[in-house]
Amino acid sequence: YTALQANAIAIRTYALKVTAEGTKPISNSTSNQVFTDKFFKSEAEKYVAARNAALSTASQVLTENNQLIMSEYSSFSKNVNYRCEGELCYTSYEKIGSKNSGTLHTVIAKKSWGLAGGHNRGMSQWGALYLAANGYTYKQILADFYAENVVIANYDYSYKSTDNVIL
């Protein structure tokens, strides 16, 4: 569940950043991120878990210097330093944020999860699940993947206009 909470904040931040805070449309393609979780037994379970993760982190976004960051995330990239040892696979991801942007850190996930691709920047969704399974809170997960000066902040939707947004 805490991995879904971390995802909800990263996804919300990404959507707001890419759409210029809701004033531009976002494309419906994998270029603008996609994630499914095969561990839920039914679509209803997926819906409830995702809804609860979004509600429990409502209005929380990732910022740096009071500005939304480009909170990239991907499944589990095999592009940089990828290797498997037994059941665990390792790769490297770049942190996002000006203080230590580009710093590589190791991400771990289970081979049996059917690890897909990605771009090695920001948060690994399977890596987030691995951290959650090992007791990390969503705040600790986000701190692991984003630069140390990136903070969780509350986003104020009250002054945003959606009058000109095309859905």
Global pTM value: 0.84
Tell me the two tokens of residue 25.
Answer: 């449309």
pLDDT tens, position by position, for the chain (167 residues)? 899 999 999 999 998 998 888 788 877 665 555 455 556 677 788 778 888 888 999 999 999 999 999 998 888 888 889 999 999 999 999 988 877 667 888 999 999 987 877 888 999 999 999 999 999 999 999 999 998 889 999 998 765 555 554 44
Tell me the two tokens of residue 52.
Answer: 């609860």
The residue length of the chain stands at 167
Distances (CA, A) of 60 to 10, 48, 91, 117, 147: 9, 19, 28, 27, 17
76-107 burial code (b ≥16 CB/10 A, e <16)? bbbeeeeeeeeeebebbbbbbbeeebeeeeeb
- Nearest partner of 110 among 123, 122, 124, 95, judged by Cα: 124
Q: Bridge-partner residues for 106, per DSSP?
A: 92
Q: Given this model, what pLDDT does residue 159 score?
A: 54
Hey, how many other C-beta atoms are within 10 angstroms of the C-beta on 164? 8
